[in-house]
Chains A and B, each alone.
Chain A
Amino acid sequence: MDKILEIKNLSFGYDNKLILDNINFEINKGDYIGIVGPNGSGKSTLLKIILGLLKPTKGSIELFGQPVDSFKDWGKIGYVAQKAASFNTSFPATVEEVVAANLYPQLGLFKRIKKHHMERVYEVLELVGMKEYSKRLIGNLSGGQQQRVFIARTLVSSPQIIFLDEPTVGIDIQSQDSFYELLKNLNKNMHITIVMISHDIGVITEKANRVACMGEKKLIVHDMDSNIPITKILSQVYGEKMNLLHHHH
C-alpha cells in the first residue's frame, strides 16, 4: 500500500510539559481515519505538527516519502479547520473568490488567475453541490454550506489527502449528515484519503476504517476490521466508564 504519512518516535512538549510521547503512526492511501480523544489530549497539536505548523521535539515525519521540513508539494494536502476559528464572516469575498485563492499551489507566485482557471473552481463547487452559490458572499451562507465551500477550496488543488479538524462543530445535524456523505464520496469514489479529528465517536466508528485514539500522551490506532471491540481501546483513553452509543440522525 502507498504510504502517505509516516510518523516515527514523535514527541512534543513545551515548558517541560510533555504533550505527545513517542508516537508512531502511518497513513496509507485510501484510508479514512478518525482521530478521537478527550479535550486537551493533543489531537490538534498532532495535526499542526503533521502540517509543519509546529516543530516536534523529537522524531520524524514524512509526507509522501519526504521529511516535512523540506516538503514542498502542499497542493497534495488539504486542510479544513473548525469554521468558527478560521475566518471573518463579514469579509467581502464570494464563494468563487475563496475557492480560487487555493489555486496558488498550481499557479505559484505572481501568476494571475485567468478565466480558464475558473472552470476548475466551478467543477469543484459542482462536486460539493455549491455551484449555484458561487457569486454569493461567503459570510451569508449557513455553517454547513461554508464548510462545503472550504472542502471545495481544498479540492481545487487536487489533494490526495484532506485533514479536517472538528469540521462539523456548530453545524446543524442534517447538514452534518450530508457533509459526512460528501466525505464518504470523496474517499470511496475519488480515492482521497481522509483524516478527521472529531468528538463524535459514534460517527467516527461508523465511517472510518481506522480510528486513532489519543490519550495519556499516546496514540493507539485501531483497525475497524479487527476482532477487538473498539470500546476496549476507547475505555483506555476515556476511562473505564464508557459506553458507545450509535445514533442515526
Chain B
Amino acid sequence: MLEILSYGFMQRALLAGVIIGFLCPLMGIFIVLRRMSLIGDGLSHVALSGIAAGILLNVSPLGVTLTFSVIAALAIEKLRKSYEKYAELSISIIMSFGIGLAVILISLSKSISFDLFGYLFGNITTVLPSDLWVILGLGIVVIISTWLLYKELFYMAFDEEAALLSGVPVKGINLFFIVLIAVTITLSMRIVGILLVSSLMVLPVAASLQIAHSFKHAAFLSIIFSQTAVILGIIISYYFELASGGTIVLLAVLILVSVLLFKYLKNTAKKKNEQA
C-alpha cells in the first residue's frame, strides 16, 4: 500500500486529488441547488478548446485553459441576461462554441496526441510539479473565497430575490462564483478529465441530498463522498492501470447507488416498524 506513495507522480496525483475532491463538491452544492448543473459541462467543453490551443501553440495548457474558461464563464453570465427566460440556453451556446473551436484546433494540430487523451479522461501520471503548485495555490484561493462568501452563496441559492432585497450584491457574487467554477474545472482536468469533471461536481451532492439534515451537513457529506471517490479512484486506477477520471466517477456513482439503497432499506424498515 505504501509503495504507491514512494513515487513522486503518485504523491502529486494524490495531493492534487485531495484538493480537487474538496473543490468540486464545494462548488457543486451551490451549482446543483441553484439548478445550474449543466454549467460544468458547458465550461469544460470550452476548456477542451483551451487544451487544444495550448498543445497547438506548445505552451502550458493549464494557463490557456484557465483564460479560455474564465472568458467563457463571463460570456455565459452576459448571455444569460439576453435570454433571461431561457437560462440554460446561454450554457448551450457557449458549449457549442467550445466544441466547435476545440475540433478546429485539434484538426489543426494534425495528430491527436496521447496528451489530449489524458486531459479528456484524466491521467494521474500527468500532474507535473508545476501543475501541482498551480492547483494548490488557486485551489486555496477558491476554498477561502467560498468560505468567506458562504452565507451570501447560501442565501442566494435558497432565495435569490430575498438575498437581493436584504442588500446582498447578487450580480457581483454571481459573476465571481461563475469564475470560481471555471477555475475549479481547469484545476480538475488533469485528474478527472474534462469530460468527467462536471460529474464530480454533481454526483457527491446528489448522494448527500438524499440523507442530509441541514445545508452544512449536505456540504460535509458531499465532500466526504467526493474524497472517498477521488482517493480510492486514484489508487485503483494505479493498480489496475485504468483511466483515473472514469474510475473516480464510477466510484461516485457507486456511492450514490449505495446511499439510495440505504435510504430505501431504512424507509422500508421504518414502515414495517410502524405497521407492527
A80 CB → nearest B CB, Å? 9
B154 neighbours in A (Cβ, 8 Å)? 93, 97, 101
B208 neighbours in A (Cβ, 8 Å)? 92
A248 CB → nearest B CB, Å? 33
* In the complex, B213 has a CB within 8 A of chain A: yes
- Give which listed residue, B148, B209, B212, B215, contacts A110 with CB less than 8 A: B148
Binds B, one of A31-39, A71-79, A123-131, A237-245: A71-79
How many chain B residues touch the partner (CB < 8 A)?
29
Task: Tell whether, in the assembled complex, residue A75 and residue B166 are in contact, meaning their CB atoms are under 8 Å apart.
Answer: yes
Q: What string of 1s and 0s marks CB contacts (under 8 Å) between B136-173 and chain A?
A: 00000000000011111011011101111111110000
Residue of A whose beta carbon sits closest to that of B212? A92
Main secondary structure of the interface of B (DSSP, over half): helix
* In the complex, B38 has a CB within 8 A of chain A: no
Residue of B whose beta carbon sits closest to that of A140? B213
Residue of B whose beta carbon sits closest to that of A108? B167
A133 neighbours in B (Cβ, 8 Å)? none
* In the complex, A91 has a CB within 8 A of chain B: yes
If A87-B158, A105-B167 touch, does A112 touch B150 (CB 8 Å cutoff)? yes
- Give which listed residue, A51, A75, A87, A113, contacts B159 with CB less than 8 A: A87
B216 neighbours in A (Cβ, 8 Å)? 97
* In the complex, B182 has a CB within 8 A of chain A: no
Task: Tell whether, in the assembled complex, residue A101 and residue B214 are in contact, meaning their CB atoms are under 8 Å apart.
Answer: no
Task: Tell whether, in the assembled complex, residue B167 and residue A101 are in contact, meaning their CB atoms are under 8 Å apart.
Answer: no
A25 CB → nearest B CB, Å? 20
If A87-B158, A104-B167, A104-B168 touch, does A94 touch B151 (CB 8 Å cutoff)? no
The CA of A104 and the CA of B215, in the complex, are separated in Å by: 17
If A92-B217, A93-B215, A105-B167 touch, does A53 touch B161 (CB 8 Å cutoff)? yes
Task: Tell whether, in the assembled complex, residue A113 and residue B151 are in contact, meaning their CB atoms are under 8 Å apart.
Answer: yes
Q: From residue 50 to 75 of chain A, which have CB atoms closer than 8 A to chain B? A: 51, 53, 72, 74-75
A79 neighbours in B (Cβ, 8 Å)? 162, 165
If A81-B161, A86-B161, A98-B158 touch, does A105 touch B214 (CB 8 Å cutoff)? no
A135 neighbours in B (Cβ, 8 Å)? 213-214
* In the complex, B192 has a CB within 8 A of chain A: no
* In the complex, A190 has a CB within 8 A of chain B: no
* In the complex, A19 has a CB within 8 A of chain B: no
Residue of A whose beta carbon sits closest to that of B34? A88
Which of A81, A104, A111 counts the most B-chain CB atoms under 10 A from its CB? A104
If A75-B167, A104-B166 touch, does A94 touch B213 (CB 8 Å cutoff)? yes
Known: A91-B33, A101-B159, A153-B162. 6 other contacts (CB 8 A): A53-B164, A94-B213, A97-B216, A101-B158, A104-B151, A104-B152
Point out residues on B near A: beta carbons under 8 Å: 33, 148-152, 154-155, 157-159, 161-169, 208-209, 212-218
For this complex, 18 residue pairs linking A to B, each with C-beta atoms less than 8 Å apart, are A74-B166, A92-B208, A92-B218, A93-B158, A94-B213, A97-B214, A101-B162, A102-B155, A102-B162, A103-B151, A109-B149, A109-B169, A111-B151, A112-B148, A112-B150, A113-B151, A137-B213, A157-B166
